[in-house]
Chain A
Amino acid sequence: FPAVTEANIMERNMQLAETYLKRYYDLETDGKHFMRRTSSSPFSEKIRQMQEFFGLKVTGKLDSETVRVMQQPRCGVPDVASYS
């Protein structure tokens, strides 16, 4: 099978993180991916919030420990505002 390269894994983790942060931390993306890279981007800011909540090392970066917590099954946060 084609080896899953480091870049694939990174991309997959980024996708996971973006879905997670949109769903649970109201991350808004306008579809552009470059915004994730800078440390002051909304993406990094939301990562920090999530790391803070789960008692992880607050780096704003998508490290393996943060990905591991994002992969855990959890409760959703229904979108009351837009529903009502």
Chain B
Amino acid sequence: ITPGRPVWDNTDLTYRILNYTPDMAQADVDRAIEKAFKVWSDVTPLKFTRIYDGPSDIEIAFETGDHGDNSPFDGPDGLLAHAFQPGKGIGGDTHFDDDEKWSKGTNGYNLFLVAAHEFGHSLGLSHSDDPGALMFPNYSNDDPNTFHLPQDDINAIQDLYGPTTNAVKPTGPTTPTICDSKIIFDAIITLRGEIMFFTDRFFWRKHPQTPQAELNFIKSFWSSLPTGIEAAYENPETDQILFFKGSKYWALSGYEVLYGYPKSIYQLGFPKTVKKIDAAVYIEETQKTYFFVGDKYWSYDEERKVLDKDFPREIAEDFPGITQKVHAVFQKNGFLYFFSGQRQYEFSITSKKVMRLMKNNSWLGC
């Protein structure tokens, strides 16, 4: 909430688009702005009406450099936009830096995402320190097509204007906290010496030399990957990482998705009864990849590019002690780390037994 709690006296607000950016078709700008206002009207009694003449509550303009409001823009990147808190005159107005490349997609700064953030300021919100919140100050490469207003932002705007009068009370995604002992990871991979823990739209990146893991949006590294990854593994021989969701999988080298992906998991040889992969891990010693599905697992020969015969086998038979569904798994220093529910099992590949039981977030410095 902006200090002093500035709010609009009424909930029927008007907005006017004063000019356009050359980066986008005007209709796309109109749509992005309208969609950005809807983010807030969906969760409050607020209504936004566009007007074309005369002063409106929220005036929207594309400006560059010093544009006369004592808050000059700074050229490409850096400062993207700003908005004034509710009030008369310039209050509520929103300015976008037209030295940026604006886009309706992700090839440039997505106008919808930035506008939704700025209108939060126009309504009286300040910045949030929740890295998953819309009102977090730094630009996030969230997916504009699957955007849902996070719960942190819903709580804040409803604190100012109350909940929507609609029957359905929308809720939003929350940001995982690093030492939440109940966290269940969707997938975990090693990557060139780092370890990455995936959950929902995010992943924690743990570098061996840094004490603290760093939270990132999946989209900020791999914009074409879906969120909600279900399994993933690194093949160090090919320097590739493979991500699985449903019956599709993506192969990436570094940040780039390789040509021709996503592919179907049935091209790897899985039967149609397999609807999704729970977890996967590459075993360097044998150059095999294990795929875990339910209470069974398959072995895939990365050399011959085929599933091995005599599979699937029971997980509990070959990995004694791993009796529940495997959510994620990775290999390090001759051990397999199985993540099953809220438990992590350190399994020795050589002695074929569980050596330690740990908390899921033990690698994150908790």
Interface residues of A (CB under 8 A from B): 23-24, 53-55, 57, 65, 69, 72-80, 82-84
Name which of A24, A65, A74, A79 has the most chain B CB atoms within 10 A of its CB.
A74
Cβ A83 vs Cβ B80 within 8 A: no
- Could you list some 29 contacts between A and B, CB below 8 A? A24-B137, A53-B127, A53-B129, A55-B131, A57-B212, A65-B210, A73-B77, A73-B109, A74-B79, A74-B138, A74-B139, A75-B80, A75-B82, A75-B117, A75-B127, A75-B137, A75-B139, A76-B80, A76-B81, A76-B82, A78-B69, A78-B70, A78-B71, A78-B84, A80-B84, A80-B85, A83-B70, A83-B71, A83-B84
Most chain A CB neighbours (cut-off 10 Å) among B109, B138, B212 = B138
Give the residue of B80, B90, B212 whose beta carbon is less than 8 angstroms from that of A74: B80
Let me know if A76 and B79 touch, CB within 8 A. Answer: yes
Chain B nearest CB from A50 CB (Å) reads: 10
Kindly list chain B residues whose C-beta atoms are within 8 Å of the C-beta of A77: 71, 82, 127
Which residue of A has the minimal Cβ distance to B83?
Answer: A78
Main secondary structure of the interface of B (DSSP, over half): loop
Interface string of B128-153 (1 = CB under 8 A from A): 01010000011100000000000000
CA distance A78 to B72 in the complex (A): 9
Where the two chains meet, the residues of B that have a C-beta atom closer than 8 Å to any C-beta of A are 69-71, 73, 77-85, 90, 95, 100, 109, 114, 117-118, 121, 127, 129, 131, 137-139, 210-212, 214
Least CB distance from B119 to A in Å reads 11
Taken together as a complex, chains A and B put the C-alpha atoms of A65 and B77 apart, in Å, by 19
Contact partner of B71 (CB less than 8 A), chosen from A72, A73, A76, A84, is A76
Are A79 and B129 in contact (CB-based, < 8 A)? Answer: no
Contact partners of A78 in chain B: CB under 8 A: 69-71, 82-84, 95
Other-chain contact of A54, B77, B84, B129, B211 (Cβ < 8 Å): B129
Contact A75/B129 with A82-B70, A83-B70 known, Cβ cut-off 8 Å: no
Residues of the B chain whose Cβ atoms lie less than 8 Å from the Cβ of A83: 69-71, 84, 90
> Separation in Å of the B246 CB from the closest CB of chain A?
32
Q: How far is the CA of A69 from the CA of B129 in the complex (A)?
A: 13
Smallest beta-carbon distance A46→chain B, Å: 15
Tell me which residues across on chain A come within 8 A of B214, comparing CB atoms.
65
In the assembled complex, how far is the CB of residue A37 from the closest CB belonging to chain B, in whole angstroms? 25
18 other contacts beyond A72-B138, A73-B109, with CB at 8 A cut-off?
A: A23-B79, A24-B137, A55-B131, A69-B138, A73-B139, A74-B78, A74-B137, A75-B82, A75-B118, A75-B121, A75-B137, A76-B73, A77-B82, A78-B71, A79-B70, A80-B85, A83-B84, A83-B90
Nearest Cβ on chain B to A69's Cβ, whole angstroms: 7
CB neighbours of A69 from chain B (8 A) = 138
